[in-house]
Amino acid sequence: MSIALLVRHGHSTGNAGGLLSGRMPGVGLTDRGRAEVEALGAALAAVPVVRVVASPLERCQQTATALLAARTGDLVVETDDRLSEAAYGAWTGRPLKELAAEPLWRTVQSQPSAARFPDSETYAAESLTEMATRVVGAVRALDAAVEAAHGADAVWVAVTHGDLVKAVVADASGVHLDQFQRFVVETASVAAVRYTAYRPFLLGINADPARLGSLTASSGHAADGEATPGGSSDSAPGATS
């Protein structure tokens, strides 16, 4: 029942260029992105994070490093390939405006579970279902390891990519992958998930950095994972939360 903070990397050169960066090398943070992650690092500095795990791609490594730069202690950035960007294959590096004219684009938007990206000699391809299975399995496994090592109230960070965060949020919300495009995940944003014996709890998405401390301190459920009447741990029954 530890808490996973899912951080999308900061604004990147690919974002600035309107490209589907995928696993293309050399895509780092822009000045805007560096400012975003610096601010997020300052907001997270007071949160007792016990582990930081990141995608191997440059923009996520830069984001994770910036988060740790604002902290004291001996945490290091761990790298996990399972948090890497979706394998977009032949779509990698192409302008989003151009991709929007492809027939597959409609499937990606309306039925993501049926979307598989075209193969490329340069870049691997996978389906969005394979991506979702990969990242949800990784986050759940990492979360269980954090709880086993640090206890039920531990907080840890996974730095990854927008579609991967949306896949985890959809799973935590109990909705089918075909609905995951309904979620918006901003650059350098945080989504907080707490897994329990009964169900995951989605504690927040695009969370206000100023609220991160209270978000991780109050999860809205009893110790055994049962939902607390009233909707949060400090609400009276029937109160709006």
Structure tokens at 75: 């945490």
Q: What angle do CA 75, 200, 126 make, to 5 degrees?
A: 75
Q: Give the C-alpha separation, 170 to 53, whole Å.
A: 20
Phi, psi of 152 (to 5 degrees): -70, -20
The confidence score (pLDDT) of residue 1 equals: 74
Residues 6-26 have a mean pLDDT of 97
- Single-letter code of the amino acid located at 156: W
Q: Give the C-alpha separation, 8 to 59, whole Å.
A: 10
Question: What's the DSSP call for residue 186?
Answer: -
List the single range of 4-8, 48-52, 215-219 with lowest mean pLDDT: 215-219
Does the pLDDT value for residue 241 go beyond 70? no
Domain boundaries, given as residue ranges, for the chain: 3-217
Mean pLDDT of the chain: 90
Q: Give the C-alpha separation, 142 to 130, whole Å.
A: 18
Q: Give the C-alpha separation, 163 to 55, whole Å.
A: 13
Q: What angle do CA 210, 191, 140 make, to 5 degrees?
A: 135
- Single-letter code of the amino acid located at 157: V
List the single range of 31-35, 59-63, 204-208, 214-218 with lowest mean pLDDT: 214-218
Q: Give the C-alpha separation, 96 to 1, whole Å.
A: 38
pLDDT bin (cut points 50, 70, 90) of residue 234 is: very low
Residues 190-195 have a mean pLDDT of 95
The per-residue pLDDT for range 139-190, each reduced to its tens digit, is 999 999 999 999 998 999 999 999 999 999 999 999 999 999 999 999 999 9
Residue found by looking up tokens 């954090």 in the block: 146
User: What DSSP letter does each residue of 42-110 carry, written as one string?
Assistant: HHHTTS-EEEEEE-SSHHHHHHHHHHHHT--SS--EEE-GGGSPP-BGGGTT-BHHHHTTSHHHHHHHH
Fold topology of 3-217: Rossmann fold (3.40.50)
The per-residue pLDDT for range 44-74, each reduced to its tens digit, is 998 999 999 999 999 999 999 999 999 988 9
In 3D space, the residue among 53, 68, 38, 75 whose CA is nearest the CA of residue 5 turns out to be 53
Beta strands in the chain (DSSP E): 3-8, 49-54, 77-79, 155-160, 190-195, 200-204
In 3D space, the residue among 18, 152, 21, 157 whose CA is nearest the CA of residue 83 turns out to be 157
Q: What angle do CA 201, 11, 49 make, to 5 degrees?
A: 45
The dihedral built from the CA positions of residue 123, 100, 33 and 141, taken in this order, carries a sign that is negative
Structure tokens at 161: 């990519």
